[in-house]
Amino acid sequence: MTTYGEPMVIDTSAILCVLFEEESAIWVLEQMESHRERLLMSTVNLTEALIRLRSRLAQSAARLESSLLSSRVDFIAPSIEQARLAAVARLKFPLNLGDCFAYALSATENCPLLALDEDFCQCDRPVLIPPKPTKNPG
C-alpha cells in the first residue's frame, strides 16, 4: 500500500501527459496524488518539459509553465553522483538523456519512478507505468 509520505520521481513523459491532457492523464494524476507529500523531478526533465510545452503549445506555454513551477513538485538539480548514475544508465538501458536523469534521481532518492515510457521497464528501479488498455476481442 502506498503511503502519502513516500517520495516519487516524475519523468517528463508523465508530466507532459497531464499538461497535454492525454489518455493516461487521470491515472498519472492519481499516482501523483498518492505520493503528494514528496513529488520529485530532475531539472533536466523540467527542461525537457518546458521545451516540449513551448514547441507544442506556444500560446499557452507561459500559463502551463507557471502552473508547473508552482505545483507541489520539488525540482532537483543533478548532483555529481546523479550525473555518474545517468551516464551508467545510458550505456546499460535503452534510455534517452532525460530518462537517464529521472532514473538517477529515482536511484539516489530510493523511490519509484512515474513514467509513460516502457523503456523504463527494463531498468532496475521500481517504475509506475499506466496499465495498457484492454482490447475487446472480435
Supply the pLDDT for residue 138: 52
Mean pLDDT of 103-129: 95
Give the Å distances, CA to CA, from 5 to 8, 10, 12, 78, 107: 9, 15, 22, 22, 17
For residue 29 the three cell numbers come to 494524476
Supply the pLDDT for residue 132: 80
The percentage of the chain sitting over the pLDDT mark of 90, rounded to a whole number, equals 83
Contact 4, 37 (CB under 8 A): yes
The string over 120-134, giving b where at least 16 C-beta atoms fall within 10 Å of a residue's C-beta and e elsewhere, is beebebebbbbeeee
All structural domains of the chain: 8-128 (3.40.50.1010)
Supply the pLDDT for residue 4: 56
Q: Is the pLDDT of residue 78 over 60?
A: yes
Mean pLDDT of 77-99: 97
